[in-house]
A and B are shown apart, each in its own frame.
Chain A
Amino acid sequence: KNEVEQSPQNLTAQEGEFITINCSYSVGISALHWLQQHPGGGIVSLFMLSSGKKKHGRLIATINIQEKHSSLHITASHPRDSAVYICAVIYGGSQGNLIFGKGTKLSVKP
């Protein structure tokens, strides 16, 4: 049973396209992370949000707690955005107990 589902699993886009990655979860959460993992393994935290919307540069993250859904948007995508994007939810009130999605592998072609 997957408590955190991401879609799509793989995504190929042309440079400049608007990209949306979705995350749905089935458990009650206190917050949600969006993470970026580049080839070679390094993971960077993009956003942590518990309500509404956050924006950083070309990245926008939204969450709807009632619908148990979050989206990560990338505007004006660029080849350097190519990475695996991972959604993770904070479950059970413990900051550490993250449940991770399996990730969305994004490839942006020039």
Chain B
Amino acid sequence: GAGVSQSPSNKVTEKGKDVELRCDPISGHTALYWYRQSLGQGLEFLIYFQGNSAPDKSGLPSDRFSAERTGGSVSTLTIQRTQQEDSAVYLCASSFATGTSPLHFGNGTRLTVT
């Protein structure tokens, strides 16, 4: 596709359930990023993938959060045993690997934990 695609666009889940959020980056972009934006809060870095290098997981808030990127393309962010404070918009972005490449954002997945 022409842009970064995220699915689902909305997800409502019960506390304690696991959820998977998907990001399909722009073809050819080797860098992929996950961020989240909680209600009334700014954006927060979660994890960053660059090519075949080990991901930068320094932003993951707890061990309930994990992410994979298969084949250097699609990424899945998994939240286990969801909590109400996990409710947020989860945004994915991708870019070329160069230091001056702009970020291209998806439209996000709005997660609501009830």
Residues of A within 8 A of B (CB): 30-31, 33, 35, 41-45, 47-48, 50, 86, 88, 94-103
Contact = CB atoms under 8 A, between A and B. Distances in A.
Nearest to A47: B102
A45 B102 contact: yes
Contacts of A41: 37, 89, 107-108, 110
Nearest to A99: B45
A102 B43 CA distance: 7
Nearest to B104: A45
Interface string B92-112: 010100011111110110100
B31 interface: yes
Given A41-B37, A45-B102, A48-B100, 13 more contacts: A30-B99, A31-B100, A33-B103, A35-B103, A41-B108, A41-B110, A45-B103, A95-B99, A96-B47, A97-B56, A97-B59, A98-B43, A100-B42
A48 B43 contact: no
Nearest to A100: B43
B65 interface: no
B58 interface: yes
Contacts of A44: 105
B31 A103 contact: no
A100 B35 CA distance: 10
B55 to A, nearest CB: 8
A12 B50 CA distance: 39
Given A96-B45, A103-B42, A48 B108 contact: no
Contact of B107 (A42, A94, A99): A42
A102 B42 contact: yes
Contacts of B58: 94, 97
A45 B49 CA distance: 19
The 9 closest A-B pairs by CB, nearest first: A96-B48, A45-B102, A43-B105, A100-B43, A102-B42, A45-B103, A100-B42, A96-B33, A96-B56
A81 B108 CA distance: 21
B79 interface: no
